[in-house]
Structure 1
Amino acid sequence: MKKLKNEKELVKKAIEAGTKYGEARGVVEFEPTDSATEKIEYIYRLLVHDKVIQPLPQDQISQLSMKHRLAIWASKLE
């Protein structure tokens, strides 16, 4: 897994876009106390469920790989 040049910013953008996506569907309402880790996992699973992004192989699912997959998704939103 090759790190993207501006991956940190893309992850922030993915969390923002994923939150809007989930709220528009009416399936999530994040609280201010929810951690970024929880948001990343929920958004990843929601996008996989809706077939917006490809799922990771079961043995490769980790916080780092979910962040990377969301960063790639966010880079394509522009």
Structure 2
Amino acid sequence: MGLASALIGKLVGLYPVETAIGSGMINNSMGGTGNIAVLSASDRMEMIAFAQMANRLSGAIILILGGLLASVLS
């Protein structure tokens, strides 16, 4: 997931490492604790506000899409 995010980020002109950390690894971590673990391991703690917001928004989007998919399949 991180590699795909880095490649797409590079294609659109973003820094590939921060794109991989931001969208590839943070959104697949376990909430706040996972965000802190990923960001402290990569020495990018200044991205914590973005990480929290991205994690919460992506979780809400997944729940909405899951609900829509469940209603279509049933």
Question: What TM-score does the superposition give when structure 2 sets the normalisation length?
Answer: 0.29
Bigger-Rg structure (1/2): 2
Structure with more relative contact order (C-alpha pairs < 8 Å, separation 6 or more)? 1
Query: How does the TM-score come out when normalised to structure 1?
Result: 0.28
